[in-house]
Amino acid sequence: MSDIIDNIMELEEDTQKGRFLTFVLGKETYGIEIKYVTEIIGIQAITEIPELPEYVKGIINLRGKIIPVMDVRLRFRKDPKEYNDRTCVIVIDINDLSIGLIVDSVSEVLSIPEDAIVEPPKNAAFSNRYIKNIGKVGNDVKLLLDCEKLLTENELEDLSEIM
């Protein structure tokens, strides 16, 4: 019995493995592992909270649950862009922490085989904290995000900024 359950669990893991939700931010296409994604919603009224970093836009009400939202554009130090009807909030769930990511638009769910994923170039002058890997799909390149770093690393950085 438990074997069967294990098998099912494995299957589920397998179906999620190597699949990425891709979204567009300016010119680049990014991907996040599908296992983190809870849902995708359209942009909605954001309640601003004072004295937060610029990229944390505020909080939204997701069916009674209150979750913070972060503008990924600002997070990556890109120019802000007016929100339109293509703008989406990707709700991700990392270590029981829900957060919404505001992106320009969501494209598709892609399967990227493991051999098509390469490490980002390592170079001291080249900081790429948030990019875990780079995926090749046809002629395009998808930047695969490290979601955990997106949330945790920045706090460290903020702290050091304060210091």
- Residues at the site binding another protein, with contacts judged by CB under 8 A: 45, 47-53, 56, 59-61, 64, 66-68, 97-99, 151, 155, 158
Q: E strands along the chain, which residues?
A: 19-25, 28-33, 37-42, 56-62, 65-71, 88-94, 97-103, 105-111, 117-118, 131-137, 140-145
Nearer to another protein, 9 or 97 (CB): 97
Q: How far is the CB of 129 from another protein (least distance, A)?
A: 18
Beta bridge pairs of residue 117? 135
Q: How do beta strands 65-71 and 56-62 pair?
A: antiparallel
Nearer to another protein, 59 or 137 (CB): 59
Q: How far is the CB of 60 from another protein (least distance, A)?
A: 7
Q: What are phi and psi of 54, to 5 degrees?
A: -55, -40
Nearer to another protein, 18 or 68 (CB): 68
Q: How far is the CB of 53 from another protein (least distance, A)?
A: 7
